[in-house]
Chain A
């Protein structure tokens, strides 16, 4: 090979590599660990359908985030922790170049990834689930239990019941019926604190996984004659509980589920038994939210919709997927404000964006997401950023919102997170960051 030919070839390869690098720099990659098949596949289809539709929407409507095209890769976990780790390992190298937050939509997978994501500097968002003491960002810099946590949700439900009971819960009986797992047990401490504060009697009744048989539990509830049942279910446990409540004659409008027990997938299979049932939610359902209507018009109009079954658009889980994607994109926007508009953001930069989110009602209006989700303002010592929920009620065909945004008792609950996070830091030998210096 002649000297000139060799130089020309080297130059060509260099240009090719550089242009590839430049091209990669213009793309913001999202590693999506999703589940669309398996026992909870129906839930995953709606959530991840909404998530991907919003990413597509930003690409179509705004040509990406300030011109940075969003790309993504999806890996199926089947809601299985081992597969979740496998998916993460498969995508993490690509995510180290530029990444949106990972949303595992599974408390189990998020627990399995919490140390790995911190070590790889890839932020993980657990919107409404996951390790709740990660609210304390001084110990968990890369984990974000955004919007609200199980404990704050339980506290907000108590506040809602208290309002219904004209301001006093003294002498009332509340049963907490829960999935016998980490997810179900998380709110117990918060409820016990609320019981002490508000002087109501709390009875704890666990249900073994999968929860498709609850005859004994509901006979016990019938015997206890509680004023309310707060219900922390998931999957088949939800429909079974609603039907079992009907079977023992417990009024459904005195039964309030967590947000994992408040989707159409939970109420439709229960038929008429679900009428009147209430649940918490951190996002509203329906297509009357301008953003949701616009996604349908823009994304599905362009033939790029992610859902095969378009009837899921506007359902609670679809809108939740959109909301989670809105939070992710807003975090990248925020990061770009600091690190350079029009550039792809790394995990560290997106982490900063997530920790400095300030999504006001005015911003939500700009996006077309007024009332879709609450205002969010995060900081180093508050990775939750809101703590608010609404209560919705099933009217037999659709969810109807029956409350305004209700905030849990932050003064009571947040110190619990702090204690738990400090304990975790001690066990793992982590030196907490000084949040005062992060301001």
Chain B
């Protein structure tokens, strides 16, 4: 039972890390109706910006500010050069544009900042909390707890921003209908630049946490792989949904990785494992069958 709890808690904490990446997708989708395929690449760019600024002598706080400026400028440039000409185009066109954007960033970022993997030290050691280890013989990482705190703060801030600020409401209006939002005087260009800037900020937070955990390198772009099942489960338009989806994926994949292989081995023989790679997608598929809009997503109803 104790081991089960240890796996469950660690899975939930891993889920928070997935949710951090998924949040960026939700933001752009919520405010522009676009599935931003480039979010993983943005996580990579943001983390690379931080380490590169630090390598040039900037302290961590300054590097974060500079990286935020880079990501904001990137957001504005995306709006100006990629999205502006695609207003009122079908969502698939915008989606295709983000695929192109992902390849562009994946090529540009290493040219600008170098491609060698680097360490990012945030001053939080990823090791077990001694008190919990001694009292309950359970491994709970300090770093994972900090990541959970950061995610909680980020979600609260974003939820409040969308609910109670003028810009937040404008963002939601734009997502519902570009044309209608334009007709009542909402400046679409500014709104898109803002939302891509915020998505850049979320990518920066996710990039810093993932970069500090596994090193800053090209593989950060892979973090987006786990965000997709998280979004399907939580819903593409819900900020709390990203967190809940992340927790479900994190906990279930860790439990599956530990407890399914022995069952499969007794049934089929051989050596099983590496279930984490496909289990989240099977789970997401199941959700698509029973609740296609996700747990917290908006139900889409078309008039006929």
Interface residues of A, Cβ cutoff 8 Å to B: 37-42, 45, 180, 188, 204-210, 212-213, 215-217, 219-220, 222-223, 235-236, 239-240, 243, 246-249, 265-266, 268-271, 273, 309, 312
Say yes or no: B219 contacts A180, CB within 8 Å. Answer: no
B79 within 8 A of A: no
Interchain nearest-CB distance for B134 vs A (Å) = 12
- A-side contacts of B77, CB under 8 Å: none
Say yes or no: A37 contacts B223, CB within 8 Å. Answer: no
- A-side contacts of B126, CB under 8 Å: 243, 246-247, 273
Q: What is the 8 Å Cβ interface bit string for chain B, positions 277-295, against chain A (1 contact, 0 not)? A: 1100000000000000000
The B contact surface, by secondary structure, is helix
Say yes or no: B116 contacts A265, CB within 8 Å. Answer: yes
Say yes or no: A269 contacts B117, CB within 8 Å. Answer: yes
Q: How far is the CA of A266 from the CA of B10 in the complex (A)?
A: 24
- 24 intermolecular pairs with C-beta atoms under 8 Å apart: A40-B218, A42-B217, A45-B115, A188-B271, A204-B271, A204-B273, A209-B277, A210-B219, A210-B222, A215-B11, A216-B10, A216-B257, A216-B258, A217-B273, A219-B258, A235-B219, A236-B222, A243-B213, A246-B125, A247-B126, A249-B127, A268-B118, A270-B215, A271-B119
Say yes or no: B274 contacts A206, CB within 8 Å. Answer: yes
Chain B: CB-nearest residue to A180: B274
Q: For the side of the interface on B, what is the size category? A: 35 or more
Q: How far is the CA of A180 from the CA of B222 in the complex (A)?
A: 17
Q: How far is the CA of A278 from the CA of B97 in the complex (A)?
A: 45
- B-side contacts of A212, CB under 8 Å: 210, 214, 219, 222-223
Interchain nearest-CB distance for B122 vs A (Å) = 11
Interchain nearest-CB distance for B21 vs A (Å) = 11
Interchain nearest-CB distance for B130 vs A (Å) = 10
Chain A: CB-nearest residue to B133: A249
B226 within 8 A of A: yes
Chain B: CB-nearest residue to A205: B273
Say yes or no: A271 contacts B121, CB within 8 Å. Answer: yes
Q: What is the 8 Å Cβ interface bit string for chain B, positions 245-272, against chain A (1 contact, 0 not)? A: 0000000011001100000000000011
- A-side contacts of B226, CB under 8 Å: 213
Interchain nearest-CB distance for B40 vs A (Å) = 11
Say yes or no: A247 contacts B141, CB within 8 Å. Answer: yes
B107 within 8 A of A: yes
B168 within 8 A of A: no
Say yes or no: A265 contacts B117, CB within 8 Å. Answer: yes
Say yes or no: B216 contacts A269, CB within 8 Å. Answer: yes
Say yes or no: A239 contacts B127, CB within 8 Å. Answer: no
Most A CB within 10 A of own CB, among B214, B272, B277: B214
Q: How far is the CA of A38 from the CA of B257 in the complex (A)?
A: 29
With contacts A222-B139, A249-B139 taken as known, whether A42 is within 8 angstroms of B277 at the C-beta atoms is no
Interchain nearest-CB distance for A277 vs B (Å) = 14
B91 within 8 A of A: no
- B-side contacts of A38, CB under 8 Å: 218
Chain A: CB-nearest residue to B257: A216
Say yes or no: B217 contacts A208, CB within 8 Å. Answer: no
Q: Which B1-22 residues have C-beta < 8 A from chain A? A: 3, 6-7, 10-11, 14
Say yes or no: B3 contacts A223, CB within 8 Å. Answer: yes
- A-side contacts of B139, CB under 8 Å: 219, 222, 247-249
